[in-house]
Amino acid sequence: MEILLASAVGILTACGIYLILRQRTFPVIIGLSLLSYAVNLFLFATGRLALNQPPILNKYADVPYTDPLPQALVLTAIVISFGMTAVVVMIALSSYLSARDDGINMTDKGGEDA
């Protein structure tokens, strides 16, 4: 199970970095989302993968439990990444509507000096 989770984190990270290096804005946004998913999976895995265990420590019983802190961190990270993705999509959309181009390069496309 750990190999599967580590492979998923690695594949998401590799795909995210590949998409961030593109010359268009929307693949960059998708790449950032994939990187945030990889970080969320990594944070979730730090709490140990325990099936059917409560996230509460019971001091009267000696039963294993799941650490609730990574779950809370992942939930918070999901909400923040959703909000930031919405902001970046709106900035990219307004940039596309004003320039009629989806590129992120800063070169002069007109070929003439100002």
Q: pLDDT tens for residues 37-90? A: 999 999 888 877 677 777 777 777 777 777 778 888 889 999 999 999 999 889
Q: What is the pTM of this model?
A: 0.74
In the structure, what pLDDT confidence band is assigned to residue 108 with cuts at 50, 70 and 90?
low
Give the alpha-carbon dihedral of 33, 36, 40, 45, to 10 degrees: 110
> How large is the greatest C-alpha to C-alpha distance in the chain, in angstroms?
78
φ, ψ for residue 103, nearest 5 deg = -75, 155
Distance CA 52, CA 11 (A): 27
φ, ψ for residue 24, nearest 5 deg = -115, 155
Q: Which of 90, 81, 95 is nearest to 33 (CA)?
A: 81
Quick check: 13 pLDDT over 80?
yes
CB-based burial label for 16 (10 Å; 0-12, 13-18, 19+): buried
CA 22 to chain centre: 17
What per-residue confidence (pLDDT) applies to 97?
A: 86
